[in-house]
A and B are shown apart, each in its own frame.
Chain A
Amino acid sequence: MLNAALRLNSHLFDDDVEQIAIRTGFGDGLVRAGEASPLVVVLSGDLTESAQALAFKKKFPDRFVELGVAEQNMASVASGMAAMGKIPFITSYAMFSPGRNWEQVRTTIAYNDRAVKIAGSHAGVSVGPDGGTHQAIEDIAITRVIPRMMVICPCDAIEARKATEAAVWTGTPVYLRLARNKTPVMTTDDTPFEIGRAQAVWTSAAPKAGLVATGALVHKALLAAKALLDDGVDVEVLNLSTIKPLDEESLIDLAKRTGRIVTIEEHQIRGGMGSAVAECLARHFPVPMEFIGVDDRFGQSGTPEQLIEYYGMGRDAIMVAVHRVLER
């Protein structure tokens, strides 16, 4: 059942559950971040509106820099601004930042120890009609491998807002992984959030499998958990919004209590969140695992819902994976 302690949205299973884009929550958080610290500055690469920097630009025009279509420059300019004491957020699509500018992020930001925040919108196949060029499904892999980098993939717009506000104060580089499309709002203003802390959003007294999900697919995991319960299968669902630093304690505890793990992410299976979980459990408490994600393919055009189903990341695919892991 839903974890009451987290004060989640009580309508999250309703057909007409409120839907807001995760990137919109980031845009709200950016304005709050700007209010919280005069050091926060925002850089944009010709995607000010869609990457959600517009509200910040309107409120703080003197702390906004437009760089044009130049993501590599954007990463390194932000490094220089951080060197002078600023707390820069660089905003673009995940495919271009941290995709196009990976080496600049690695060298001029992380290696240089500059606390730049990288907001990558349009992550995942749910970008939809734009097609595979614009669907970043490799970004978790390429950011979590960078020393000092924190990687956060919020599950909904409210969590994205909180993560953005929290990112200001880490003193480290942070990658915020954001989705383009409207997705169900699962949390509320009252839901606690802390970077590095996984949350059991669906709990059970005697779970037979642990579902570890990140991003908007947490909702699919919850739908699967509810349907599985109707079939008499108790599971627990963990919202792993911080992928790095990894909440190893919660993961090991879940593995010990369930003995079976299914990871769920809108990303390549190779190198993603599931891989991070596997690295942890293989060392500390190995259990059978199944991985929901894109299986070594590129994305394509379609509606978000069509693509989630096609690549095997929907509710039914999760249920099949749970049954598969239970048979092992």
Chain B
Amino acid sequence: MLLTGHQRIALEAMANAIRQSIIEMLVSAGSGHTAGPLGMADVFAVLYFHTLRHDPNNPAWEGRDRLILSNGHICPVLYATMAHAGYFPTAELNTLRKFGSRLQGHPHREFLPALETSSGPLGEGLSQAVGMAIADAMDKKAGERRIYCLMSDGELEEGQTWEAGMLAGKWALHNLVALIDRNNIQIDGFTENVMPLEPLADKWRAWKWHVLEVDGHNVAAIAAAFDEAKSVYEKPTMIIAHTIPGKGVAEFERDFHWHGKPPDAEQGEMALRELRATAQQISSEPE
């Protein structure tokens, strides 16, 4: 179902608000990852405010869709989105990475039970998502709820990802939708220099996945891709979302040095000024 102009603007505004929260959290925490969370804000906005069947007031609802964040290090975007969706107060976001916080440096469901999995070590999320999808297939519940898995491109270098990909193809898990944050960076540099992943789409097609490629900052295209996945009944779907690391803050964009460090107070203020200006533009867009 195509987004209306009003829905598109609302999702863009939400992605902008999520980005602002990410900057505030990271400045307050004094450590953490900047580029990945900013790059995935549009995907998270679409998922939590358009695609997912979920109830923030009842996180344990059995019928909810499951969202697995495999690359746990981008959790600032997960936490910020969950707070904006109503899972917990946005005021709690500035406890990120601090002692006693529910918002652990990498997600831990023992601290925040609304999380589906604890994650951080790379390459493990897809396997867990596949396990969930198989369990539902066994129970004939594959049509009742869907399993979503978000992954980074760098973590595809973990061989376990391919083990999981093969298994999902073998089982033809149409209740499974995975999305790769194709931002082309990882800690040591650009992915194609560190370890070439291309031809990426062909690899997933070879494992019997339905593969889509989208602009990861076009909320209408992201929403359409998730909608298309719902209509694929014979395969799992892989969405390769082309994103710009650090998206929304010109100085952070496309620079792998921002993978694993936070902005300081001054950089944070600069980033927030830019994001607030963007928010003004979004609100004045024609529907």
A-side residues, CB < 8 A to B, are: 41, 62-63, 65, 67-68, 70, 72-73, 75-86, 88, 103-104, 107-108, 111-113
Contacts and interface: CB of A to CB of B under 8 A. Distances in A.
B127 A76 contact: yes
A77 B134 contact: yes
Contacts of A103: 121
B138 interface: yes
A111 B108 contact: yes
A181 B128 CA distance: 33
Residue of A72, A77, A104 most packed against chain B (CB within 10 A): A77
A70 B135 CA distance: 18
List the 6 closest pairs (A to B, CB-CB), nearest first.
A80-B131, A76-B127, A73-B163, A84-B135, A80-B128, A77-B131
Contacts, number: 95
Contacts of A104: 124, 127, 160
B158 to A, nearest CB: 9
Nearest to B130: A77
Contacts of B120: 107
5 contacts: A62-B138, A73-B163, A88-B131, A107-B120, A108-B124
Interface stretch (B109-117, B196-204, B259-267): B109-117
B279 to A, nearest CB: 37
Contact of B109 (A41, A70, A77, A113): A113
B109 A108 contact: no
B166 interface: yes
Nearest to B126: A76
A73 B110 contact: no
B128 A108 contact: yes
Interface of B: 66, 68, 108-110, 116-121, 124, 127-136, 138-139, 159-160, 163-164, 166-167
B118 A107 contact: yes
A84 B136 contact: yes
Between B68, B164, B166, the greatest number of chain A beta carbons within 10 A of the residue's beta carbon is seen for B164
Given A80-B128, A83-B128, A73 B160 contact: yes
Nearest to A116: B131
Chain A interface, DSSP helix/strand/loop, else mixed: helix
Nearest to A104: B124
Nearest to B136: A84
B208 to A, nearest CB: 14
B138 A77 contact: no
B75 to A, nearest CB: 15
Contacts of B128: 76-77, 79-80, 83, 108
Contact of B135 (A67, A68, A86): A86
A63 B134 CA distance: 10
B108 to A, nearest CB: 7
B167 to A, nearest CB: 6
A76 B131 contact: yes
Contacts of B117: 79, 83, 108, 112
A63 B138 CA distance: 7
A140 to B, nearest CB: 23
B124 A107 contact: yes
Contacts of B136: 84
Contacts of B124: 76, 104, 107-108
A79 B121 contact: no
A117 to B, nearest CB: 14
B163 to A, nearest CB: 4
Contact of B160 (A76, A80, A81): A76
Most buried by A among B66, B132, B138, B163: B163
A75 B129 CA distance: 12
